[in-house]
Amino acid sequence: MHKIFDIDKIWAYIASSLMAFFEPIEILVLWMLIFIISDMITGIHASLAEGKPIQSCKAQKTVHKFVLYAMSIFLLEGMDRYILDLVDCHLANIGATIICGIEMYSILENCYRITGNQVFKVLTQFTLKKIKDETGVEVDNKLIQK
């Protein structure tokens, strides 16, 4: 006897539909994840180098940060594809670029904390200037989550 509603098949259809829907931006989310993980790794290394304890609540913030960033990229893609469909603004690309730029700033700052090398300090200032020049937004250190 055949089931009318096979729950396993329904979940497979839902999962494959979602994957197909978000396929155009999967590389953006992957790169964003790489930047977030790199920031977390360098942050842990910097804390250990400074003799500070590692806190699990900061790792939990990293997970929340990724979820919120990914949700933002998904929503920007939806706006670009379905709401602003007359003009291709590449909103998801712009959003991912800004997010990765801020994460890059944090990575460079952590590298400076680890090594004390002035090259990383110069690169952090260059990154802030580039973000401001490209987006018009002045990134405040309070905006960059630790």
Q: Which domain holds residue 81?
A: 25-135
For 21-58, b where at least 16 C-beta lie within 10 A, e where not — what string? ebeebeebbeebeebbeebbebbeebbeeeeeeeeeee
pLDDT tops 90 at residue 72: yes
pLDDT tops 80 at residue 14: yes
What's the rounded mean pLDDT across residues 16-41? 88
Please report whether residue 4 resides in a domain: no
Please report whether residue 15 resides in a domain: no
pLDDT higher for 22 or 104? 104
Please report whether residue 11 resides in a domain: no
Please report whether residue 5 resides in a domain: no
pLDDT recorded at residue 26: 86
Please report whether residue 8 resides in a domain: no
Please report whether residue 129 resides in a domain: yes
pLDDT higher for 29 or 142? 29
pLDDT recorded at residue 2: 62
Please report whether residue 146 resides in a domain: no
Domain count across the chain: 1
Q: What is the pLDDT of residues 114-143, one digit of tens each?
A: 999 999 989 888 888 887 887 777 776 555
CA torsion 132-125-93-75 (nearest 10°) is -80
| Vertex 138: Cα angle to 133 and 139 (nearest 5) | 115
C-alpha 24/C-alpha 20 separation (Å) is 8
CA torsion 141-97-138-36 (nearest 10°) is 0
Say what the pTM is. 0.76
What's the rounded mean pLDDT across residues 82-88? 82
Please report whether residue 9 resides in a domain: no
